[in-house]
Amino acid sequence: MAQRVIVTGGAGYIGSHCVKRLGKLGYHILTIDNLSNGNKWAVLSGELKVVDLADTVTVKEIISSFNPHAVIHFAASIIVPESLQNPIKYYKNNTENSLNLLKILSELNIKNFIFSSTAAVYGIPEIVPVTEDAPLNPINPYGRSKMMTELIIQDISNAYGLKYTSLRYFNVAGADPEGKLGQAYRESTHLITRALKTAKGEFPYLEIYGTDYQTPDGTCIRDYIHVSDLAEAHIVALNSLLNNGESDVFNCGYGHGYSVKEVISVAKKVTGIDFKVIESDRRPGDPPQLIADCSKIKKKLNWQPRYNDLEFIIKTAWEWEKKR
């Protein structure tokens, strides 16, 4: 009999790619999403229930009747500058609503939980590539809201026997290689998406925030992971938990980075469009480099990424953008 998995935020960018993969593997899936950032059309497998995690009565009824073997929790607000302007939204949606969900799972004795965390929990790491045991020192409300949730998960695990995996994402990019899914946020804040939208003419120019960092070309360096490889990381984490694996935390990246200027250069190559770029001042709180040490997830869960290639990542995103 197919195992049942609930996916919160499964109508969003990363969640929808995971739902698609779960469906192909034969899982029985139920997505819970309030559609604030997600889209109904993006849920390609299973059933969708449109509800907010703040509505604990309805959410508990849904989870109780579905009786999942595991819950994968993507639902969150994710825009760093917005978190600085509106921290209450982030603590409510990311931390309080996660606590609501975890309380329901403990009451229903549901034991397997996968959490979407972020490299933002590290803040500006002293050592790069950053390992999972690096100090947690987030520098914005988004990162702090995720760190707080990680700590809550650990405490609930210790008290109630919850088995969990927290996956700390680095810079997620690209689109479904089959062309069925991709980024569809109301507001485009990711570098690759903004670059491609600039190539399409949706923005007059692309801004580079800071060119005086201590990096080879002066711009920030980030570790970009293809969204389908990240979806696969959730699958290996799920399989581990369902087979009595231990609770753990894993970085999800490729272990090497590209600068902002390198990304722009590849975006221009892929699109064939020499779009306008202007240089601006640094944004507050941008680490010069953020690169994952992802050896742990490869070793412990046998995660094997397939799309570790910046040009391929940008090509899939460009094919998606051209369709939109």
How does pLDDT run across 272-282, given as a tens digit for each residue?
999 999 999 99
Q: Does 42 map to a domain?
A: yes
Q: Do 39 and 131 belong together in one domain? A: yes
Q: Do 207 and 308 belong together in one domain? A: yes
Q: Do 121 and 264 belong together in one domain? A: no
Q: How many domains does the chain have?
A: 2
Q: Do 241 and 165 belong together in one domain? A: yes
Q: Do 105 and 50 belong together in one domain? A: yes
pLDDT tier for residue 2 given thresholds of 50, 70 and 90: confident
Q: Does 41 map to a domain?
A: yes
pLDDT at 300: 98
* Catalytic-role residue among 13, 91, 142, 258: 142
Q: Does 181 map to a domain?
A: no
Q: Do 100 and 198 belong together in one domain? A: no
Checking if the pLDDT of 125 tops 80, the result is yes
pLDDT tier for residue 190 given thresholds of 50, 70 and 90: confident
Q: What is the mean pLDDT of residues 27-37?
A: 97
As a whole number, the mean pLDDT across the chain is 96
- Give the CATH number, domain containing residue 101: 3.40.50.720
Task: Confirm if 278 and 242 have CB atoms less than 8 A apart.
Answer: no
Instruction: Specify whether 142 is catalytic.
Output: yes
Q: Does 21 map to a domain?
A: yes
Q: Do 119 and 204 belong together in one domain? A: no
Q: Does 185 map to a domain?
A: no
Q: Does 182 map to a domain?
A: no
Task: Confirm if 239 and 28 have CB atoms less than 8 A apart.
Answer: no
Q: Do 259 and 117 belong together in one domain? A: no
- Give the CATH number, domain containing residue 260: 3.90.25.10
Q: Do 196 and 70 belong together in one domain? A: no
Q: Do 232 and 218 belong together in one domain? A: no
Q: What is the mean pLDDT of residues 249-258?
A: 97
3-state SS record for the chain: CCCEEEEECCCCHHHHHHHHHHHHCCCEEEEEECCCCCCHHHCCCCEEEECCCCCHHHHHHHHHHHCCCEEEECCCCCCHHHHHHCHHHHHHHHHHHHHHHHHHHHHCCCCEEEEEEEHHHHCCCCCCCECCCCCCCCCCHHHHHHHHHHHHHHHHHHHHCCEEEEEEECEEECCCCCCCCCCCCCCCCCHHHHHHHHHHCCCCCEEEECCCCCCCCCCCEECEEEHHHHHHHHHHHHHHHHCCCCCEEEEECCCCCEEHHHHHHHHHHHHCCCCCEEEECCCCCCCCEECECCHHHHHHHCCCCCCCCHHHHHHHHHHHHHHC
pLDDT tier for residue 188 given thresholds of 50, 70 and 90: confident
Q: Does 180 map to a domain?
A: no
Q: What is the pLDDT of residues 214-252, one digit of tens each?
A: 999 999 999 999 999 999 999 999 999 999 999 999 999
Q: What is the mean pLDDT of residues 157-175?
A: 97
pLDDT tier for residue 189 given thresholds of 50, 70 and 90: confident
pLDDT tier for residue 206 given thresholds of 50, 70 and 90: very high
Q: Do 229 and 319 belong together in one domain? A: no
Q: Does 101 map to a domain?
A: yes
pLDDT tier for residue 313 given thresholds of 50, 70 and 90: very high
Q: What is the pLDDT of residues 61-118, one digit of tens each?
A: 999 999 999 999 999 999 888 999 999 999 999 999 999 999 999 999 999 999 999 9
| Domain range enclosing 114 | 4-173+224-252
Q: Do 119 and 61 belong together in one domain? A: yes
The answer to pTM > 0.85 is yes
